[in-house]
Amino acid sequence: MAEGESSVAEQEPSVAEPRTIDHYLHTDRFPHIWCPGCGLGTVTAAFLRAALELGLEKDRTVVVAGIGCSSRAVGYLDFGTVHSIHGRALAFATGIKMAHPEFTVIVLTGDGDGAAIGGNHLIHACRRNLDITTILFNNNTYGMTGGQASPQTGMGGYATTAPFGFDEPSFDLCRLAEAAGATYVARGTSYGVRQLQKLIRDGITHPGFSFIEAVTQCPTEYGKRNPPKGPVQMLENLKEKAISRKKAEGMTPEELEGRIVTGLLHRDESVPELTASYARMLERIRKSADE
């Protein structure tokens, strides 16, 4: 940037005029590509409200996405943003975070991007416990390509590539992330936006790999083929199915069938974070070289 030019970050709003999420948006890029009734914008807004709460600096925050409807969010965000390739957002983010541990690194991904093509990178990112916050937008389908089955479509779900009903089970993504070593695991929905915002905020402040599954609705592609139809009905369905972790604890697996367990599901602060342990290794090597 040339001298004398001012940056967006320097234009502080006055105290009387509290910031809105527009602060972090390229509103000139609107209208966005998402369909009416889509939940991806709701989840993105929950992230941005969490960012406002934390006062994330645009210049020190990098948001990385893969390919798909959810990943298009980065095209509207006023941070350093990387719209990478399908399934590989976490691999890009690993390079960014390791090179610059001081950056806040957020990954936005979908159920196809993160759990199918990017599944391998997801489990290894969890295992490394690098301080990256991953928000996986789960809408149970490949929306951008027209409603094909994803790993999260679920048994009996319909999709353009499952015209007779899908006969594969889904992942429990949060249990997957926990088993793979993620040290902060949470789930929210696009109905429970305040809870989701809090979960994302706490995920960002957690020093380690944070995985937040945001269950959301795709009325255009998933809802068209699977009940309930319509965005309002789908949101009501999310509301009815969602159950807090505390309530779920006393329930049998049969009772929990089809329910969405929300809230903070796992947190472990005893595992060393990778950039910190790498820095300690460098320090050790430097000391032994000096001796």
Partner 1 sequence: MELWYTHLMRETIDQDSLLVQGNRACALGALDAGVRFFAGYPITPSSEIMEVMARELPAVGGVFMQMEDEIASICACIGASLTGEISMTATSGPGFSLMQEAIGYAIMAEAPTVIVNVMRMGPSTGRPTTPSQGDVMQARWGTHGDHPAIVLAASNVADMYRLTIAAVRFAQRFRMPVIVLADEIVGHMRESFSPEIAGRYRLTSGDFDFTETYIHPEMVREVHPPHELGTLIHPHVTGLIHDETGFPTNDPKKSEQFLRELHDKVVHHRGELCLYDVKNVGKGRVAVVAYGSCARSARAALKLAEQEGIPVEVLHLYTLFPLPVEIIQELARRVEFILIPELNLGQYAREVRRLAENWTTVVSMGRIDGNLITPRDIVDRLAELVGKYESA
Assigned token pair, 150? 């994803």
Tell me how crowded residue 133 is: count the other CB atoms within 10 A of its CB.
26
Single residue of 32, 124, 245, 259 touching partner 1 by CB under 8 A: 124
Among 113, 117, 130, CA closest to 73:
113
Q: Which of residues 175-204 bind partner 1 (CB under 8 A)?
A: none
Q: Please state the closest distance from residue 119 (CB atom) to partner 1, in A.
A: 11
Do residues 93 and 105 make contact, with C-beta atoms less than 8 angstroms apart?
yes
Tell me how far apart the alpha carbons of residues 253 and 230 are, in angstroms, rounded to a whole number.
29
Single residue of 21, 52, 54, 58 touching partner 1 by CB under 8 A: 58
Q: Is 9 in the site for partner 1 (CB under 8 A)?
A: yes
Q: Please state the closest distance from residue 188 (CB atom) to partner 1, in A.
A: 27
- Please identify, using beta-carbon distances, which residue of 50 and 77 lies nearer to partner 1: 77
- Please identify, using beta-carbon distances, which residue of 93 and 136 lies nearer to partner 1: 93
Residues in Cβ contact with 283 at an 8 Å cutoff, skipping those fewer than 6 apart? none
- Please identify, using beta-carbon distances, which residue of 10 and 17 lies nearer to partner 1: 10
Within the chain, residue ranges assigned H as helices are 40-54, 89-99, 111, 119-128, 173-180, 193-205, 231-241, 245-249, 253-256, 274-290
Q: Is 92 in the site for partner 1 (CB under 8 A)?
A: yes
Tell me how far apart the alpha carbons of residues 108 and 132 are, in angstroms, rounded to a whole number.
11
Q: Is 248 in the site for partner 1 (CB under 8 A)?
A: no
Single residue of 98, 179, 248, 276 touching partner 1 by CB under 8 A: 98
Among 202, 213, 214, 206, CA closest to 50:
202
- Please identify, using beta-carbon distances, which residue of 104 and 262 lies nearer to partner 1: 104
- Please identify, using beta-carbon distances, which residue of 21 and 96 lies nearer to partner 1: 96
Do residues 96 and 64 make contact, with C-beta atoms less than 8 angstroms apart?
yes
Do residues 73 and 24 make contact, with C-beta atoms less than 8 angstroms apart?
no
Q: Is 269 in the site for partner 1 (CB under 8 A)?
A: no
Q: Is 121 in the site for partner 1 (CB under 8 A)?
A: yes
Q: Please state the closest distance from residue 257 (CB atom) to partner 1, in A.
A: 33
Single residue of 19, 20, 95, 227 touching partner 1 by CB under 8 A: 95
Q: Is 120 in the site for partner 1 (CB under 8 A)?
A: yes
Q: Is 79 in the site for partner 1 (CB under 8 A)?
A: yes
Do residues 190 and 216 make contact, with C-beta atoms less than 8 angstroms apart?
yes
Do residues 271 and 94 make contact, with C-beta atoms less than 8 angstroms apart?
no
Residues in Cβ contact with 163 at an 8 Å cutoff, skipping those fewer than 6 apart? none
Q: Is 93 in the site for partner 1 (CB under 8 A)?
A: yes
- Please identify, using beta-carbon distances, which residue of 109 and 237 lies nearer to partner 1: 109
Give the interface with partner 1 as residue ranges (CB under 8 A): 1, 7-9, 26, 29, 58-60, 62, 64, 74-75, 78-85, 88, 91-96, 98-100, 102-103, 120-121, 124, 278, 281-282, 285, 289
